[in-house]
Amino acid sequence: MDKYPDQKQKRAVQYLHPPIEPFDTRMIDVGQDHRIYVEQSGNPDGIPVVVLHGGPGGGCSPAMRRYFNASAYRIILFDQRGCGHSRPNASVENNTTWHLVADIETIRQQLEIETWFVFGGSWGATLALLYAQTHPDRVTHLILRGVFLMTQAELDWFYGGGAGRFWPETWERFAALVPEGERSNMIAAYHKRLFSGDLAEEIRYARAWSAWENALASIQSSGISGEPPGDYARAFARLENHYFINGGFLDFDGQILAHMDRISHIPGVIVQGRYDMICPPASAWNLAQRWPNSELRMVRNAGHALSEPGISAELVRIMDQLAEDSL
């Protein structure tokens, strides 16, 4: 989950560090016909931090560099398989959570980084937790936002009508494209159309899938979102739907919380919008209860988006403090 990071960023720009350009960009061949886009910016000798974008399928954004002091951090951004500048675009072949976890480790090794901070929001928080649980000796700090634990309950909330009770008119637009007899499983209904083989139909349903989520991202939303470019929407919706219909490729529902003992020694901060309609605060709360070495910071008057002003301000404050503490 989590999309369109640039569209709402203007409201939060006052809290961010100045824009910067990468000092290194590359395409890394990770096998199985996938090449992923990776960039580095900031200080080559600074504290390494890898940024995990939302979605799945959302791609990274230049604005994401600005949550970090460029003199203190070596900032690594990358587009996960199938989205952004990574190729092939919108491909779900050889594209699972465990491929992404392996890709993160490949990036770390190729950049010759021993340990790093891991910063992720929404699906990026999911991936950060799973990466840390798989490679706990490589993560020195976790910074998470808008927690999504990849559980069936969370999917049922967002695609089973829970969030639609707060946004009935927006839900109706999302549901109206599906025959009434298929609405009991919206993920499956959209899956059939997002992978129909008819490009025009795939883009139509991709835009509707993306619009439903984007409309609920901000606390300031009117319930109506802009229309994303067709290629972007198709990659986003196909990848997100592919992951969700497969339960995130986890071994069992509730896996992340069940394995929190693996990373109990890793310090972390959780930043959560109080009125997050996409990833309700219960997940962040439950995570904090299983993770004594974490601090939960609930941001009032904030929804889900990275670009919510209160969330942006809190994240910048946290990263600045961590940099200062590392001196």
99 an active-site residue?
no
Can you tell me the mean pLDDT for 19-47? 98
251 an active-site residue?
no
| pTM for the predicted model, two decimal places | 0.95
pLDDT of 225: 83
Task: Give the domain ranges of the chain.
Answer: 9-152+249-326, 153-248
Q: Is the pLDDT of residue 7 over 50?
A: no
Length of the chain (residues):
327
Cα separation, 202 vs 182, whole angstroms:
17
Can you tell me the mean pLDDT for 265-288? 98
Q: At 2, is the pLDDT very low, low, confident or very high (cuts 50, 70, 90)? A: low
Quick: pLDDT tens for 93-116. Answer: 999 999 999 999 999 999 999 999
Q: State the chain's mean pLDDT as an integer.
A: 95
Show the CA angle centred on residue 243, arms to residues 134 and 77, nearest 5°: 60
pLDDT of 10: 52
pLDDT of 228: 87
CA-to-CA separations, 32 to 15, 36, 87, 92, in angstroms, rounded: 40, 11, 11, 11
Q: Is the pLDDT of residue 4 over 50?
A: no
Q: Which of 218, 276, 294, 307 is catalytic?
A: 276
Q: At 5, is the pLDDT very low, low, confident or very high (cuts 50, 70, 90)? A: very low
Four-CA torsion 74, 75, 76, 80, nearest 10 degrees: 170
Q: Is the pLDDT of residue 327 over 90?
A: no
pLDDT of 11: 57
Rg (CA), the chain: 18
276 an active-site residue?
yes
Q: Which of 61, 122, 221, 294 is catalytic?
A: 122
Cα separation, 265 vs 275, whole angstroms:
30
List Cβ neighbours of 225 (8 Å cut-off, separation of 6 or more): 4, 210, 211, 214, 215
Q: Which of 91, 304, 307, 312 is catalytic?
A: 304
CA-to-CA separations, 6 to 25, 214, 272, in angstroms, rounded: 20, 12, 20
Q: At 14, is the pLDDT very low, low, confident or very high (cuts 50, 70, 90)? A: confident
> CATH 3.40.605.10: does it fit domain 9-152+249-326?
no
The identity of residue 5, as a single letter, is P
Q: Of the ranges 4-13, 90-99, 167-176, which one carries the lowest mean pLDDT score?
A: 4-13
3-class DSSP state of 50: strand
Q: Can you state the percent helix, strand and coil of the chain, rounding each to 5? A: 45, 15, 40
